[in-house]
Amino acid sequence: MVEIAEWTPQRTLKLPEAVAARFRPSDRFFVWAERDALYLKRITPPQVTEIVAQAPEGEPLSLDEINEIVHQVRRQKKAE
């Protein structure tokens, strides 16, 4: 399928109906350009069930434990 999108004066890209119908208004995209080509890649966040499946078993972490982990990660990133 080859169709034409239009760049509007409002600086938006108007997609052909057949393409736009594949997306929801809340969809987000990675966008990058290479020479005269523009690429869009829909960002697909993980499903809640995937996140829950990765959670460690046992007692949930306390807010203090979570806070300490966040601070450790931030310190590590700052050191890099």
User: Per-residue pLDDT tens for 11-20?
Assistant: 999 999 999 9
Residue-level pLDDT at 7: 94
Residue-level pLDDT at 47: 67
> How far apart are alpha carbons 13 and 31 in whole angstroms?
12
> How far apart are alpha carbons 5 and 68 in whole angstroms?
48
> How far apart are alpha carbons 66 and 71 in whole angstroms?
9
Residue-level pLDDT at 80: 75
Number of domains into which the chain is organized: 1
> How far apart are alpha carbons 6 and 19 in whole angstroms?
12
Residue 67 lies in a domain: no
Residue-level pLDDT at 48: 64
Judged against a pLDDT cut of 80, whether residue 53 lies above it is answered with no
Judged against a pLDDT cut of 70, whether residue 71 lies above it is answered with yes
Under the banding of pLDDT at 50, 70 and 90, the label for residue 54 is: low
Residue 70 lies in a domain: no
Residue 18 lies in a domain: yes
Residue 66 lies in a domain: no
Which range marks the domain in which residue 19 is found?
6-42
Residue 23 lies in a domain: yes
> How far apart are alpha carbons 3 and 5 in whole angstroms?
7
